[in-house]
Chains A and B, each alone.
Chain A
Amino acid sequence: MGVLSAFMRGVTRLNDVIGRGIALIVFAMFAFLIMEVAFRYLFNSPTVWTNELTQMLFGIYAVMSGGYIMAHRGHVNVDLLHSHLPPRGRAVLDILTSTIFFIFTLALLYFGYDMASESIASWETSYSAWNPPIWPVKAAIPLGTGLLVLQGIVKLLEDIAVAFNLNYYTPEPQDDAKGEPL
């Protein structure tokens, strides 16, 4: 069971490290937009690249967040039924509904991969005035979804452990808190 625990800790840690890094993109988006305003308003010379680059960064930022948010229990749900169930009941329910989660994310992973590999095959660019490569942004779709799927597997393993009293995983007390207060 050591392998399982290691896998679960590893995935969560991976999502955490990536998430904390990607989160900093907000500084770049802010800086580029302010730069564009300054270029246009103060120097009357708007750039061809700031808005598009901001846009591309935003796409990566958004799609790469899935796994990190899942690791931190940040995807919101309706807890009407959950709050009336004991932890084991909750875990059983989550195991059942995880089918819907995996149907969505695996379909997205498959076709996102398809879309990205087609884009990479032609080193697709945006054909705007600036014309940057956009395949890295498309590649972020299967990458971000892959991280989400991995974290979903971790969640499933946790639920299985709780439901069947298996010893490879013990819920930590703060897991119940479902996301930190802000």
Chain B
Amino acid sequence: AEESFTWKVQSHWPGSSSSYEDSLVRLKTILEERTDGRLELELYEAGSLFKAKEIFNAVSRGILEMGTISPAYAQDKITLAGIASGLPFAFRNVWEAAYFHQGLGFEQMLRDEAAKHNVYWATDKVYPTEMVVKQPIDSWEDFTKLKIRSSGALQSFLTDAGAAASYIPGSELYSALDSGIVDGAHWGASQGAFSMGLYEVAKYHVQPALNIAGTDVIIVSQKALNKLPEDMQNIVKQALEEQFWFRTNEYQYKERITLAKAISEHNVQVNTLPEDVQNRLTQTAQTLWDEEGKRSDNAQKALDMLKDYLSELGYL
């Protein structure tokens, strides 16, 4: 009989997150089908075996065969992670970010960096990160008065831009927004906000996106991949390749219907930022981009590529 394999897969998504089902369970089903059951994925919800920030290390060491992460959790290993997790106010449409990854070769650059840590990197999808706020932002003054729950690079960005951004853990986010400790927050975009119950207490969904990026990544231990017979290796890589396009597209669809649901069920309104606010935010963002470029030669190369691309698109 042919040898069969079982992989432990630690997710950074909780089970209630739409991506757990739509990305991970989908991948599991496809891989099991195409390998005739020779490769089985054992899925673990967020926090079961390893905390989110430890998943990259565990996959890199080969303790876990597969995992899902946000690039931010691999910042210390991957110098491109800052750019991968999304430079603020760079792309304006999801397809632009998708083409940057797959058409211009950013995905391959990430994959090469990850390979040094025995990790095979495959972006699950690109999607926007959007804010919800309790009061609409109609002017620059409205924006600078905001107290926003944020994290990572976006927290620095929002602070530099003049809002008061602070980090509050996910478990306290709902209460903080409800009682007014913060007036706004971002947790993914509408699907994220919906799953956290944020629309119950914050009725304005802010657009455009703070960033659009490959914020969800599937990582595979190179050691585990090498143990598979060649046909199965190809099946895995092929499935991951398809996953990117399928999920990026599906996610946009689900964003739209979730927002529609929020609008009808929770009386949420879309708050489009005024032109001058958008312009000022873009200016602040560009100084931050340059910081990311300084992390390595590779990061500088990716940043230059991004800037050329954005100029080509007519945004710079």
Contacts and interface: CB of A to CB of B under 8 A. Distances in A.
B193 to A, nearest CB: 21
Nearest to B164: A46
Interface stretch (A81-89, A119-127, A144-152, A173-181): A119-127
Given A48-B159, A122-B76, A128 B166 contact: no
A46 B166 CA distance: 6
Interface size class of B (residues with CB under 8 A): 20 to 34
Interface in B138-190: 145, 147, 150-153, 155-156, 159, 164-168, 181
Nearest to B82: A127
B75 interface: yes
Given A40-B147, A40-B166, A129-B165, A48 B76 contact: no
Contacts of A47: 166
A28 B152 CA distance: 24
B126 to A, nearest CB: 20
Contact of A46 (B72, B76, B165): B165
Contacts of B155: 48, 128-129
Interface residues of A, number: 17
Interface string B200-241: 000000000000000000000000000000000000000000
A89 to B, nearest CB: 40
Given A124-B76, A127-B76, A129-B156, A44 B164 contact: yes
Contacts of A128: 151-152, 155, 167
Nearest to A122: B76
Contacts of B75: 127
A165 interface: no
Given A46-B147, A124-B76, A129 B164 contact: no
Nearest to A129: B155
A47 B159 CA distance: 9
Contact of B159 (A40, A115, A124, A129): A129
A47 to B, nearest CB: 8
Contact of A52 (B76, B165, B167, B181): B167
Contacts of A45: 164
30 contacts: A36-B166, A40-B166, A44-B147, A45-B164, A46-B147, A46-B164, A46-B165, A46-B166, A47-B166, A48-B155, A48-B156, A48-B166, A48-B167, A51-B166, A51-B167, A51-B168, A52-B167, A125-B76, A127-B72, A127-B76, A127-B82, A127-B152, A128-B152, A128-B167, A129-B150, A129-B151, A129-B152, A129-B155, A129-B156, A129-B159
Given A40-B166, A122-B77, 13 more contacts: A40-B164, A44-B145, A46-B164, A46-B166, A48-B155, A48-B165, A124-B76, A125-B76, A127-B76, A128-B151, A128-B152, A128-B155, A129-B155
Shortest 3 CB-CB contacts between residues of A and residues of B: A129-B155, A46-B166, A127-B75
